[in-house]
Structure 1
Amino acid sequence: MFSIEVRRRSIRIWLVWALVNFSYYSAFIWLPTLLMASGFPLVKSFGFTLIITLAQLSGYAASAYLVEKWGRRVTLSTFLIGSAGAAAAFGFGAVNGSETQIIIFGMLLSFFNLGAWGALYAITPELYTTRLRGSGTGSAAAVGRIASIAAPLLVQQRPRSGRADPAIRRLWCRFRGGRRRRSGATGTARTISAGLVAPLVMAGLLAIQGALA
């Protein structure tokens, strides 16, 4: 797998897997917290999260179809760029808007992000010969899992840390009996969006430039 002919391809597909996993867990681990920081009750926040995550099913289905229709690189790139746009809209606008905006942009984010993930699962084995297919795909998935562990820790520090975002500190105080406020959502939304949009755009550019050729 580290021979000259496959080394560059392995490193690039590892990077794409890491960035997609990082972006997904950056958003969806913190999604209920983000909604609560906007002032929505706990039960309603998890209800929104459930509706948003259901869009993942259609994202997988669309990706499976388009991989054969458009080709692997175009499909993956399209879903990654779509994910970045949906993340920006959700993080910077929808959280401070209506419930309809939250659900629509959240579902778009879920649809595109999981569609990209589905395309990766289909594409990665094709990059290796039969002898290397198992180890190549497994190593790429393992790198992605490492990124998924790091993502929620790097995007937002824990509330007890002095470096935590003010919105998260206020949310932490609410669980301890503090007053609920709606004004704390903006910082959290921008933090999550920054952690999500940049990796998605970078992964999309890697795919477009031939990482998956």
Structure 2
Amino acid sequence: MNKAEKVNYIIDELEKLYPVVEVPLDHKDPYTLLVAVLLSAQCTDKRVNQITPLLFERADNPFDMVKLSVEEIKEIIRPCGLSPMKSKGIYGLSHILIDKYNGEVPKDMGALEELPAVGHKTASVVMAQAFNIPAFPVDTHIHRLLTRWGITNGKSVVQTEKDAKRLFPKELWNKLHVQIIYYGREYSPARNPKLSKDFITKNCASKKVLKTYADYEA
């Protein structure tokens, strides 16, 4: 398949598998989504969803969050890892949201990326899932899969995002990035993937990639 054929095949298969998708991080509004995505860095969504109820019971908005100390936030979110950096980020961005945006999360990529501990991927998720503004967040899972499928050369997540945006229709970006995450978890994990199960890779990948699978048969 050429790239155009791969793109159409991937879209069709993911739509069959996951016609309805929800963000795997529990949240109720843009602020709680922003905090949850920040916490998900180098942490599983499952673990984040176990911790955010404890945090949001104390503070589910920036006004209540700044009433907590950084140490209090850090103690609650410790199981998510990187708690010193994340707690400072949550506390700091909450202050900025109050001071600059009346406590609201801005609908602007640049403004989001200026917030403490908020990188491009986190900002992209918030733009896509909180505000339904087209974005294509690329995490390590999406980077891995689009590389396996020959959609990108895999040199960097920056290049992967550019290639994804160039090849996939803009109106599908927000849904597609979640569908790819779902597929990766179910069919194409990072460790010990099985080609017999990973049918999109089986049909899209180069022979060089296919040979990395333990159950590859020429």
* TM-score, normalised via structure 2 length: 0.31
- Compare the two structures and name the one with the higher helix fraction: 1
**Structure with greater contact order relative to length (CA < 8 Å, sep ≥ 6):** 1
When the two structures are superposed, what TM-score results if normalisation uses the length of structure 1?
0.32
